[in-house]
Amino acid sequence: MVRLFLVIGFLLLTATARAAVDGEELFARHCSACHGSNGNGGVGVPLALPSFINSVDDEYLSKTIRIGRPGRIMPGFVELDDAQVTAITAYLRSWATKPAPARDNTVVKGDVKHGQVLFSSHCAQCHGEKGKGGKGTGVTFSRKRDLPIIAPALNNPGFLAAATDSMIRNTVLHGREGTPMNAASKAGLSKKDVNDLVAYVRSFADAYQKPAYQQSGHQQQISQPTEEDAVIVMESPYSLAETVENVKLAITNQNFTLVRTDFLDHGLVTEGKENKNQVVLHFCNFRFLFDALVIDPRVGMFLPCRVTVVESAGKVSVMAINPLRLSKLFNNDELDEACKHMHEIYTAILEDAVL
Amino acid sequence: MMKRLLICTFVMLQTISAQADELIMVRSQQKFPEAMLTLQTSVKEHGYTVTRVQRIDVGLTGMGYHTDKYRVVFVAKPDEMHYLIKKYPLLIPYMPPKVSIFAENGESVLVTANPALFAKMINDEHDKAIFHRWQNDIQEVFDDVRKAD
């Protein structure tokens, strides 16, 4: 009998130990890449600052985990079960210096119009016009940017679904110590001003325009290339060698620098044995590359730019990835512009080469 | 004059909402050179070849842009990649798969496109399985780097 109790006791102990470890392990696996090993930030904002974690309720955290920040890099973690989300939330809570505030769903009433005026003069310089967020996200130590912490998007459906009016009001009233976000009083704003700002921020929920690809009913068109196509391909009427030369010229015409030409299976087979019918041209524009990395350091994966010329069964074709697909892959609306620009450039280079 | 845009009839993604697993991303507490070594060692242990290391930071710094260490590592299994691009030429622009690795505040961050995305570009179940194996392998490799200290 005693033995049985011992065994049960032991099982219970290991079970609680596992649960306690879980939150930390889940954070390391799913969150630390962006929010830092100790919650001190990265591509994501810092989470360990007492001024943040002390001021938000558990539901704010769990909803943020579930929904993420659509179009602002943070994905929604739909595949985690409730126990896992609770464990992560509890782990975040371990950085707090006070008990979690209760969720307060009181609606804050204010003058949206006046809030809008105040927002333009006091908030938009960091949070962007209409609260679309600062340039880039989170914290970076690796490349120069405007602020030590980039202001989050406030018009984001993930933020608006997670935050209560009272959380927004408290954040604006008290600011977040240790971040560029100052208390309202420092800017000479009254409590009424703050309420007006809350009402304005809340009104973003109506104004937010989903990117086309997130709108329901958006159907893939088979007959037209769209942003969902993974690649851009054109057939060339020229020989492989001629097409390669054409691509080189087209790259220069677009003000890009040819970095390197090699074979697709370079490094995969012994030198000299490569398939000479698959030629890769790498090219770059450093200003563009740098700007893209400041917005989202992860995009380097698809840079420098690349066009591949392939000859197969006597047919020569030129191909490239479709950059329009990338802003979606990275869940980053800010990349939209850059990706559209790249799409135009790729298309122009390919068209130029086969003309 | 021949100028024809071929239509790609496959769609890369059915689910278009922001989902957590389209990119695989981890942070390692190792400094950049150590993390790079752990990555390359684990890649080889998993039977893959590093076909190239692209030094993005060197190009940028050379042009006067300040940036910390940033490399792109090309990773492939020769036989499987040859087989796949022969059968599915539209995969070519995405091959070989790449891993970004960059320094951040004395630590290192790794990111790659989930190979499962490539599986969505093709139909054959048997061939899809290859990409799902790549996915498992890269996840293991990334775990190795994440847990290394």
Domain count, chain A: 2
Q: Kindly report which listed range (A269-278, A303-312, B9-18, B74-83) carries the lowest average pLDDT score.
A: B9-18
Closest CB to B13: pick one of A30, A228, A351: A228
Selected residue with higher pLDDT from B145 and B61? B145
Q: What is the pLDDT of residue A325?
A: 80
Look at chain A and count its residues: 355
Model ipTM over 0.90 = no
Give tens-digit pLDDT for B23-50.
999 999 999 999 999 999 999 999 999 9
The single residue listed with the structure tokens 């690349």 is A306
Q: Is pLDDT above 90 for A233?
A: yes
In this prediction, residues A33-50 reach a mean pLDDT of 93
The highest-confidence range among A135-144, A209-218, A284-293, by mean pLDDT, is A284-293
Q: Do A289 and B59 touch (CB under 8 A)?
A: yes
Q: What is the pLDDT of residue A336?
A: 84
Q: Is pLDDT above 90 for A248?
A: yes
Contacts of B74 in chain A (CB under 8 A): 267
Calculate the average pLDDT of chain B. Answer: 84
Question: Can you say whether the dihedral through the CA atoms of A16, A22, A24, A25 is positive or negative?
Answer: positive
Say yes or no: A215 and A190 in one domain.
yes
Q: Does the CB of B46 have a partner CB in chain A at under 8 Å?
A: no
Give tens-digit pLDDT for A67-123.
999 999 999 999 999 999 999 999 999 999 999 999 999 999 999 999 999 999 999
Say yes or no: A91 and A239 in one domain.
no
Of A178, A202, A222, which residue sits at a domain end?
A222
Contacts of A141 in chain B (CB under 8 A): 68, 104-105
Q: Is pLDDT above 90 for A48?
A: yes
Give tens-digit pLDDT for A278-316.
999 999 888 888 888 888 888 888 877 899 999 998 899
Task: Give the minimum alpha-carbon distance from B112 to chain A in angstroms, rounded to a whole number.
Answer: 7
Say yes or no: A192 and A261 in one domain.
no
Q: Is pLDDT above 50 for B13?
A: no
Q: Is pLDDT above 90 for B121?
A: no
Q: What is the pLDDT of residue A154?
A: 97
Task: Give the minimum alpha-carbon distance from B126 to chain A in angstroms, rounded to a whole number.
Answer: 21
Q: Is pLDDT above 50 for B70?
A: yes
Closest CB to B76: pick one of A37, A268, A328: A268
CA angle at residue A173 from A171 to A177, to 5 degrees?
Answer: 60
Of A162, A187, A222, which residue sits at a domain end?
A222
Q: Do B25 and A286 touch (CB under 8 A)?
A: no
Q: Do B25 and A312 touch (CB under 8 A)?
A: no
Q: Do B25 and A143 touch (CB under 8 A)?
A: no
Q: Does the CB of B26 have a partner CB in chain A at under 8 Å?
A: yes
Provide the domain limits for residue A286: 231-354
**In what helix (H) or strand (E) does residue A305 lie, and over which residues does it extend?**
strand A305-312
In this prediction, residues A6-22 reach a mean pLDDT of 50
How far is it, in rounded angstroms, from Cα A262 to Cα A265? 9
Whether A1 maps to a domain, the answer reads no
Contacts of B57 in chain A (CB under 8 A): none
Check which CATH number belongs to the domain holding A314 and give it.
3.30.310.70
Say yes or no: A53 and A119 in one domain.
yes
pLDDT classification of B134: cutoffs 50, 70, 90: very high
Whether A82 maps to a domain, the answer reads yes
Q: Do B65 and A286 touch (CB under 8 A)?
A: yes
Is A207 in contact with A325 (CB distance < 8 Å)?
no
Q: Do A300 and B56 touch (CB under 8 A)?
A: yes
Q: Do B112 and A301 touch (CB under 8 A)?
A: yes
**C-alpha torsion A10→A15→A21→A26, nearest 10:** 160
Q: Which of A80, A266, A268 to mutate to test the interface with B (most CBs of B within 10 A)?
A: A268
In this prediction, residues A151-158 reach a mean pLDDT of 95
In this prediction, residues A176-203 reach a mean pLDDT of 94
**In what helix (H) or strand (E) does residue B49 lie, and over which residues does it extend?**
strand B49-55
Calculate the average pLDDT of chain A. Answer: 86
Spell out the domain ranges in chain B: 23-147
Contacts of B3 in chain A (CB under 8 A): 234, 351, 354-355
Q: Does the CB of B74 have a partner CB in chain A at under 8 Å?
A: yes
Q: Is pLDDT above 90 for B2?
A: no
Domain B23-147 falls under CATH 3.30.310.70: yes
Q: What is the pLDDT of residue A334?
A: 87
Is A112 in contact with A203 (CB distance < 8 Å)?
yes
Say yes or no: A189 and A262 in one domain.
no
Say yes or no: A283 and A137 in one domain.
no
Percent of chain A whose pLDDT exceeds 70: 86
